[in-house]
Amino acid sequence: MDANEKTATGTESPLKRKVVEAFAARFGAPPTLGWFAPGRVEVLGNHTDYNEGYVLSAALAQGIVFLLRPAPPGATRGRLLAVDLEREIQFDPARPAPMASAAWANYTLGALHFLSEQIARALRPFDAAFGGDLPVGAGLSSSAALAVASTLALAELHGIELSRLDAARIAQRAEHEFAGVRCGLLDQISSLFGAEGALVFTDFRTLDVRTAALPATVEFLLCNTGVKHRLVDSAYNQRRAACERAVAHFAARLSHPVRALRDVSMTEWEDYRHGLDAEDARRAAHVIGENDRVRAGVERLAANDAAGFGALMNASHESSRRLFENSCPELDFCVEAFRHAGALGARLSGGGFGGSVIALAEASRAEDIARTVAKEAERRFRRPTPVHGFRPAGGARRLEI
C-alpha cells in the first residue's frame, strides 16, 4: 500500500475513508471499485508538451479518489457526487454531454463518452463519487487527475483494456472536448507514469516515457500562491495559438521540415524570426529554450548535479516571466523568496497565470527554507501561505475496496 491508501501507521488514508463514507451515505451501499490518480508538478518544460517537446515532471502523493458501483437493476440514469463540493448530478450514460451548470462533472462525462465511443456501445449506468486533497486552482492538475481516475475506474467497471497511454489520450480528450481546455498530454502522463523518487521524462513527439532519478540529497518545496489557476478562463489557449503561428512562420522559411517548435533551434530562431509578430516570436523563444533546458536537466540529473539542475529551474522561470508572460506578481515574489532563502532553484509550475511555485533545496536545509518562505509570503499576501516539502510519488493505481 502507499500513502494514498494507507498511512505510515497502516490505517486507511483520510481521503479514501472520506469518499467511501460519503458514497455509502448518499447511495445507500458501499462502492465496489475505486482508483486513485495523483496530481502532478511540472519541474522543467513549460508549455512544451503541445509543441511536441520535452518535459520533466513528478507525480504528487495528493490527488483524486474516484469510487463507483453499478447502478441498481432497472436504473437508466447514473449519478455522480462531488464530495468536496457537496453537489450531485444525474446523467444519461447512453448520451453523456457537457454540462455548463456543473463544469466539474465534465471530466468524468467526457471520459464516459470517449470510452463508449471506443467500444461502440453505451456504458452501463453507475453511481460514482470523488474527492481530493489537491488545492483547486493551484496548478497541480486536479482536473487531469479527475479525468484519469474516472477513465481508469470506468474502464475497469466495463471490462475495457487500456494501456496507460490510451488512458492518457481519453482523459485528454475529455479535457479538450468536454471541459474546453486544449491541454497537452503532460498532466495525464505525469499522473499515470509517476514513480517514487524519480522525475518523469516525456518526449511528446514519440510519447517515449522514462524516469530520471532525483538525487537523494535534495527534495522539492511547493508553495501555493493562492492565486486561482483556471486554464479555461486564462490565456492558455492564446499562448497555444501563438505557438502555432510561429510554427507556420518557421515552416515557410527553413529548409527542413518544421512540424512543431521542437524542430526549430535557437540559432534558427535568431536567424529567421524577422517577419514574425514580436509577441509570437517571444512565445516561440520560450518554448525552444525550455526544450534545451529539459535536455540539459536530464544530463544534470545523471551527473548528480543538483546545483546545475536548480540553475536551469531559475532560467526557466525568467523565460516564463519575460518571454511567455505567464507568470504573475505572486509567483514572482515566491520564486525570489525561495532563491533568497537558499533554494537551489525555483520556478512557476504548470500553465502559469497563478497556481504554485516549485523549488529545489538541499534536504538538510529544506525545513528552514520552507519556514522562511512561508513567513515572507504570509507577510506579503496577508494570509497563510504554507510551503510543503515532497519527493516524487508513484502514479495512478487501483484502490482496495
Catalytically active residues are 187
In 276-326 the beta strands, taken as DSSP E runs, fall at: none
Radius of gyration (C-alpha) of the chain in whole angstroms: 21
Q: Are 34 and 65 in contact (CB under 8 A)?
A: yes
Q: Which amino acid is at 397?
A: R
| Phi-psi domain of 342 (left: phi exceeds 0; alpha: psi -120 through 50; beta: other) | left
Q: Are 124 and 93 in contact (CB under 8 A)?
A: yes
The cell for 107 is 471530466
Provide DSSP, 327-373. --HHHHHHHHHHHHHT-SEEEEETT-SSSEEEEEEEHHHHHHHHHHH
CA distance linking residue 203 with residue 343, whole number of Å: 28
CA distance linking residue 112 with residue 97, whole number of Å: 9
What are phi and psi for residue 162, nearest 5 degrees?
Answer: -130, 135
3-state secondary structure of 130: strand
CA distance linking residue 191 with residue 194, whole number of Å: 6
User: CA nearest 321: which of 336, 306, 308?
Assistant: 336
β-strand partners of 360: 220, 345
β-strand partners of 211: 200
CA distance linking residue 292 with residue 310, whole number of Å: 15
